[in-house]
């Protein structure tokens, strides 16, 4: 009787552990698929953003030119403010 109860208990523990291991394996497979989808998405983003480097270089050059003009205008406005005694 005790042997039968022990074997049933061991069998239940083994079945429970096997169930948990199967559930963990299922979750890991799902996570692997999700990570693969994210990696594919990141590759697509990389392809879509590749032309930005050239365009941002052009924008940076234009903004540098604008900075020079704005600094010049700032200097003129500062001189005008001094003439009108605003500073």
**Alpha helix positions (H), 1-87:** 2-49, 52-83
Average pLDDT over residues 76-87: 92
CB atoms inside a 10 Å sphere around CB 56: 10
- Residues 6 or more apart whose CB falls under 8 angstroms from that of 81 comprise 87
Q: What is residue 87's predicted lDDT score, i.e. its pLDDT?
A: 81
Q: Residue 43: its pLDDT value, please?
A: 96
Tens-place pLDDT, residues 18-75? 999 999 999 999 999 999 999 999 999 999 998 888 899 999 999 999 999 999 999 9
Q: Are the C-beta atoms of 87 and 78 separated by less than 8 Å?
A: yes
User: Looking at residue 86, what is its pLDDT?
Assistant: 87
pTM of the predicted structure, to 2 decimals: 0.55
């Amino acid at each position: 009787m005790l042997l039968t109860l022990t074997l049933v208990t061991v069998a239940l523990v083994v079945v429970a552990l096997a169930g948990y291991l199967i559930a963990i394996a299922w979750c890991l497979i799902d996570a692997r698929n999700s990570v693969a989808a994210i990696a594919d998405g990141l590759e697509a983003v990389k392809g879509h953003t590749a032309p930005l480097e050239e365009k941002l270089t052009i924008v940076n050059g234009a903004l540098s030119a604008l900075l020079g003009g704005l600094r010049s205008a700032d200097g003129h406005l500062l001189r005008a403010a001094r003439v009108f005694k605003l500073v």
